[in-house]
Structure 1
């Protein structure tokens, strides 16, 4: 994504967040919290991501 596109995307996301009602934000937040976290990320942090990216880089 180019710089201009990224800024446009972030502006759109920010304005949609600001335009939403506080009740909508609370329900969205509670839905995110109720979803289970990915096991590897929850217990091992960035280690699985770093390992995957290293292996992917080496195979390329």
Structure 2
């Protein structure tokens, strides 16, 4: 039973903190994510990391020659 009481206590603390925070502060803290992330999730980010990795591997091979 102690775990459920702790959970309820945690949830109520979070709700009270959320309610006490002014609306402008909540909006400012959340921030705006890029449209690519909103529309496609993490796929564009992962593709860009993959592309950067390929480019860096190619440049290392060219330097080795």
TM-score (ref. length: structure 1): 0.49
